[in-house]
Amino acid sequence: MSFPEQRPRRLRRSPAMRRMVAETRLHPADLILPVFVREGLTEPVPISSMPGVVQHTEASLLTAAEEARDLGLAGIMLFGIPTTRDAQGSAGLDPQGILNRSIRAVKDRVGEDLVVMSDLCLDEFTDHGHCGLVDEAGEVDNDATLEVYAEMGVAQAEAGADVVAPSGMMDGQVAVIRQALDEAGHQHVPILAYAAKYASGFYGPFREAVDSQLKGDRKQYQMDAPNRTEALREVELDLAEGADMVMVKPASAYLDILSDTAAISDVPVSAYQVSGEYAMIEAAAANGWINRRTVVTESLIAIRRAGATNVLTYYAAEVAGWLREELAGSRGSASASGAQTPPSAPAHPPIEPRRPTASTRPADQPRTDAGFPPVS
């Protein structure tokens, strides 16, 4: 009988061993929370296709931002939903419009302890639901839209956005926005470019979340699912135009694109675990077909393993809470075995991330990492 000379299973024998040799890890600072704020609401409204996610009021948005800060998340991405829309998306340019005033309010609340990002696109603000201005032939006018994006970027920067994130997939959008920001004195504001954004069926629940008015599709300007080489061209163009970060969207069905992007990018790479990915996990878990926590964690590790520096995910706050529980549990085990808990790691009160709660950060606890060790 012949026995194997190589036994990789030796490094899988226990949770501690697997933890020691793990090649990819999750940390709250890897995660960005997308949030929706809707004008005119008096209480949060659940999104039926995204269980656990809501359209926030302007007040509950601030609570969610505080919680994101206290959990040590990397950032929060704001999407605004106005009461009134028009063909030009005017509410997106209004300094007192729902998105810009929400940026200002969140920034005032969290200061420099959380990166406040803003979606730079017209689709939430137009009565036709497209990401740009529509011409007489019914097509999205790329260059006319760029002029609006430039104004929009400056308005968001002046509202206090730490990062602006153009998501419309207009040709030349990064260069135009960069020039406008620089000329307005906002040279310090980085651009997170949705560099490879596909026209995808995985966006379905998002349409409900932002009350989209879209009829038809966005295939004229978002990428076509069969194309891989084209994605690299899009990424390279955005990098050449000055993108400070680039994004692949959706994440899970496009891990090959994410890996390709990470291989060529000399700036951080984001990936968006979109609404349809979230909804599918929730539906399967609700039916008892999968272990929810295991699959959520596995899906995020897969995105990070493929090359994402950070992940936009509706699970961000909840997963950060799990990671904190796991850290507290490992510290508890160490204490029980006689090891000393580091004095710089105070105990954390429990948080239920999926429901807005008041800030629970101890007064002496740094806000930046919620007690987690630094990310290496």
Positions marked active-site:
197, 249
Q: Which residues pair with 46 in a beta bridge?
A: 54
Own/partner pairs, 289-298, CB within 8 angstroms, 24+ separation: 293/322, 297/26, 297/322
Distance CA(58)–CA(67), nearest Å, equals 15
C-beta pairs of 51-54 under 8 Å, 24+ apart in sequence = 51/282, 51/286, 52/282, 52/314, 52/318, 52/354, 53/209, 53/278, 53/314
Please choose, from the candidates 275, 210, 212, the residue with its C-alpha nearest in 3D space to the C-alpha of residue 37. 210
Residue type, 119: D
CA nearest neighbour of 214 among 94, 134, 321, 325 = 134
Per the omega criterion (within 30 degrees of 0), is the bond before 349 cis? no
Listed residue (199, 215, 87, 81) closest to 144, CA to CA = 87
Distance of alpha carbon 91 from alpha carbon 151, whole angstroms: 12
116, 103 in Cβ contact below 8 A? yes
